[in-house]
Amino acid sequence: MSIVETPPPQGTAERPPSLLRRCAALLTSQQSILLVVLIAVMCFFDFHNSRFFSTSEFSNLIVDFCEAVLIAAAETYVIISGGIDLSVGSTVAVSGVVGAYVIQYLEGHHFGEVPSLLVGTLVCAGVGALVGIINALMITRARLVPFVATLVTLSAGEGLALVFSKGGTIGYDPVAAVWSATGFWIFTWLSVIVLVLTAILGIVLHVSRYGRYNFAIGSNPFAARAAGINVNRHVASVYILSGLLAGLTGMIFYFQTSGGAPQSGIGNELEAIAAVVIGGASLVGGAGRFTGTIIGVAILTVVHDGLTFINVATTWNEVVVAAFIALAVLLQSLSAGSKKLL
């Protein structure tokens, strides 16, 4: 069998799209529309209570955004690589509890606040990475499908967080909580660190070879393997990265709640997946934009916080979030339909 390439008609080959077309494509892209929706939602909340566009509220929004963005970023990597990680929420809980124990121990032994917190951060990241390694081994060695493998660690993580903590919050660290609220303008120092890390993750995904491998594997793992990519090693690294980011989120929750609570992060994996879906990533892998996830997280944060802000019963939260997911899916299908027409 031979493949015959048909030359494109003369005059149309290799012609870059005009500036007008590119602008039109940009303006009608899913992310642009979602960005407009995000701004509209914010204006709506401000219309109901003019304190919404205030530095204190923006500071709150950024703090809540930072609680969610790292695991959403992790989920973006995993989903684009063709997998899914259900364990990120429970990893937040278990790493936060273990980290809190370590910090409590070190502070009790006069180790100093800052060194204790730094060691606690490393421990949280380490526990998260350990969960990631377990996921990676189950997926790449035992050949479990990612859904099942991470369901195992989701369940075990939730249980272990409760066993370790005996159900209560570990430690009480108001100094850490007060530090986490300090910063400049609308940014806390903690949120600056998280935002910088998020930016690095975005750049790595879209600019580096590592990111390109991620898309290639998610798009077609067989072709990626044939092209010389060590698929198993890459997939393992993605799950370890995901665990590590979830572990760091455990530390963020430690700062927010003055301790390690076994309930922290539980269920947040679904919110992270929702943010990725709203952002336009394909759940079958190989496609997605990091900026889309960022907008997805921003929308979910603004909706959750904004409804409380304007004194709407919080029971409406999930309904509104569901509406946004439906909107995102609709935009995706409309976009796919318009491409077919073109």
Partner 1 sequence: MKSRSMRLVQGAAVASTLAASVFTFVGGTAGVANAAAKKYTVDYVVGAASDPFFISMRVGATAEANKLGIKLVWQGNPSVYSSATQIPIVQNLLATAPNALVLAPTDTKALQPLVAQYVSKKIPVFNVDSGDANQSNITAWVTGNNIQGGKAAADALAAAIGYAKHCTSSSKCVVAIGVSSITTSTDAARLQGFAAEVKAKYPNIKALNPIVSNSQPAVATSGFKQDLSANKVAGIFAIDGTDLEGASQAILTAGSAGKNIKVVGYDAYATTIKSMQAGKISAIISQQPALEGKDIIDAVYAKLTGKGKIAHLTTLANVVLTPANCAMLCAKYVYKAA
Exactly one of 41, 122, 133, 162 binds partner 1 (CB under 8 A); that residue is 162
- The span from the CA of 239 to the CA of 150, in Å, is 10
Mark 114-152 as b/e (b = at least 16 C-beta within 10 Å): eebbebbbebbbbbbbbbbebbbebbbeeebebeebbee
Region of 183 on the Ramachandran plot (φ > 0 left; ψ -120 to 50 alpha; else beta): left
From the list 80-88, 168-176, 233-241, 325-333, the region that binds partner 1 by CB under 8 A is 168-176
Binding pattern to partner 1, positions 113-152, x when CB under 8 A? ---------------------x--xx--xxxx----x--x
Q: Does 193 bind partner 1 (CB under 8 A)?
A: no
Q: What are phi and psi of 310, to 5 degrees?
A: -95, 15
Q: What are phi and psi of 153, to 5 degrees?
A: -75, -30
Q: Does 37 bind partner 1 (CB under 8 A)?
A: no
Q: Does 262 bind partner 1 (CB under 8 A)?
A: yes
Helices (H) and strands (E) in the chain, counts: 14, 2
The vertex-297 CA angle with 293 and 300, nearest 5°, equals 135
Task: Tell me the three state secondary structure of residue 9.
Answer: coil
Q: What is the CA 265 to chain-centroid distance, rounded?
A: 12
Q: Does 40 bind partner 1 (CB under 8 A)?
A: no
> Closest distance between partner 1 and the C-beta of residue 154, in Å?
11
Q: Does 242 bind partner 1 (CB under 8 A)?
A: no
53, two tokens? 């566009």
Q: Does 52 bind partner 1 (CB under 8 A)?
A: yes
Q: Does 184 bind partner 1 (CB under 8 A)?
A: no
From the list 20-28, 107-115, 196-204, 302-310, the region that binds partner 1 by CB under 8 A is 302-310
> Closest distance between partner 1 and the C-beta of residue 96, in Å?
10
Could you write out the DSSP letters of every residue in 261-286?
A: -TTTTTTHHHHHHHHHHHTT--TTSS
SS3 content of the chain, % helix, strand, coil (to 5): 75, 0, 25
Exactly one of 261, 297, 300, 328 binds partner 1 (CB under 8 A); that residue is 261
> Closest distance between partner 1 and the C-beta of residue 100, in Å?
12
Exactly one of 77, 253, 290, 324 binds partner 1 (CB under 8 A); that residue is 253
- The span from the CA of 274 to the CA of 292, in Å, is 11
Q: Does 183 bind partner 1 (CB under 8 A)?
A: no
Q: Does 319 bind partner 1 (CB under 8 A)?
A: no
> Closest distance between partner 1 and the C-beta of residue 208, in Å?
31
Region of 145 on the Ramachandran plot (φ > 0 left; ψ -120 to 50 alpha; else beta): beta
Give residues in contact with partner 1 (CB under 8 A).
49, 51-52, 54, 56-57, 60, 63-64, 67, 134, 137-138, 141-144, 149, 152, 155-156, 158-160, 162-163, 166-169, 172, 174, 177-178, 180-181, 253, 256-258, 261-266, 304-305, 308-315
